[in-house]
A and B are shown apart, each in its own frame.
Chain A
Amino acid sequence: MSNERLSPVADADEVEVRDPRSGLTAKAGLGDRLFGGSARGAAVFILILMAAIAAFLIYQAAEAIGKDQVNFVTSFTWDPDGNSTPNGQPEFGIAAIAWGTLVTSVIGVLLGAPVAIGVALFITQYLPRKIGSVFGYIVDLLAAVPSVVYGLWGLLVLDQHMSGVSKIIEDVLGWIPLFKTDGTYGSSMFTAGVVLAIMILPIIAAIAREIYKQTPREQIEAAYALGATRWEMIRLAVLPYGRSGVTSAIILGFGRALGETIAVAMVLTQVPGLVTRILQPGGNTIAANIAVQFGDAFTTGRQALIASGLVLFLMTLIVNYAARVVVRRAGKAGS
Chain B
Amino acid sequence: MSLTHTSPTRKLKDKSAYIIAGAAFVIAIIPLISILWTVIVKGAKDFDTYFLFHSMRNVAESDSFGGAYHAILGTLEQVGIAALITIPLSLMVGIYLVEYGRGRLSQAVTFFVDVMMGLPSIVAGLFILSVWILGAGFQASGFAASLALTILMLPVAVRSTEEMLKLVSPALREASYALGVPKWRTITKVVLPTALPGIVTGMMLGIARIMGETAPVLLLVGVTQSINGNPFSEPQGSLPLFVFNESQNSLQTAVDRGWAAALTLIILIMLLNLIARLIAWWKAPAASR
Contact = CB atoms under 8 A, between A and B. Distances in A.
Q: Establish whether A and B are touching in the complex (CB under 8 Å).
A: yes
Contacts of A52: 131
B92 interface: yes
Interface residues of B, number: 97
A268 interface: no
A149 B39 contact: yes
Contact of B92 (A38, A60, A118, A138): A38
Contacts of B17: 230-231, 234
B181 interface: yes
A142 B28 contact: yes
A259 B120 contact: yes
Interface residues of A, number: 101
Contact of A31 (B29, B31, B182, B218): B182
Given A123-B25, A232-B10, A232-B14, A259 B123 contact: yes
B134 A138 contact: no
Interface stretch (B51-59, B62-70, B229-237, B263-271): B263-271
Interface string B246-276: 0110000001001100100110011001000
A18 B180 contact: yes
A118 B20 contact: yes
9 contacts: A11-B189, A39-B100, A42-B89, A44-B105, A49-B151, A118-B25, A146-B213, A147-B213, A262-B240
Interface in B192-227: 193, 208, 211-215, 218-219, 223
Tell me which of B95, B106, B122, B259 has the highest count of chain A C-beta atoms within 10 A of its own C-beta.
Answer: B122
Contacts, number: 285
Interface string A210-229: 00000000000000000101
Nearest to B132: A56
Given A118-B23, A205-B28, A258-B120, A157 B34 contact: yes
Interface string B93-124: 10111011100011011001111111111110
A112 to B, nearest CB: 9
B154 A46 contact: yes
B266 A153 contact: no
B270 A144 contact: yes
Contacts of B122: 259, 261, 287, 290-291, 309, 312
B31 to A, nearest CB: 5
Interface in A17-57: 17-18, 28-29, 31-32, 34-36, 38-47, 49-50, 52-53, 56-57
Contacts of A95: none
Contacts of A39: 92-93, 95-96, 99-100
A116 interface: yes
Nearest to B13: A231
A57 B125 CA distance: 11
A43 B259 contact: no
A122 interface: yes
Nearest to B93: A42
Contact of A303 (B127, B134, B258): B134
Contact of A316 (B118, B176, B219): B118
Contact of A57 (B28, B31, B126, B154): B126
Nearest to A202: B28
Contacts of B269: 144-146
B89 A17 contact: no
B179 A229 contact: no
Interface stretch (A2-10, A83-91, A183-191, A270-278): A2-10
Contacts of A126: 18, 21-22
A119 interface: yes
Contact of B243 (A15, A135, A148): A148
A302 interface: yes
Interface in A169-215: 198, 201-202, 205
Contact of B21 (A11, A31, A121, A261): A121
B175 interface: yes
A8 B120 contact: no
Interface string A283-323: 00001001100110001001101100110110011011000
Given A46-B154, A149-B39, A287-B122, A34 B218 contact: no
Contacts of B126: 57, 290, 305-306, 309
A148 B158 CA distance: 26
Among all A-B residue pairs, the 8 with the closest Cβ atoms: A259-B120, A146-B212, A118-B24, A35-B184, A42-B92, A261-B215, A231-B17, A122-B21
Contact of A259 (B121, B127, B211, B262): B121
Given A291-B218, A291-B219, A319-B118, 5 more contacts: A46-B154, A151-B244, A229-B11, A234-B17, A266-B247
A115 B247 contact: no
Contacts of A121: 21, 24
Given A262-B215, A306-B126, A115 B262 contact: no
Interface string B171-194: 010011001111111011110010
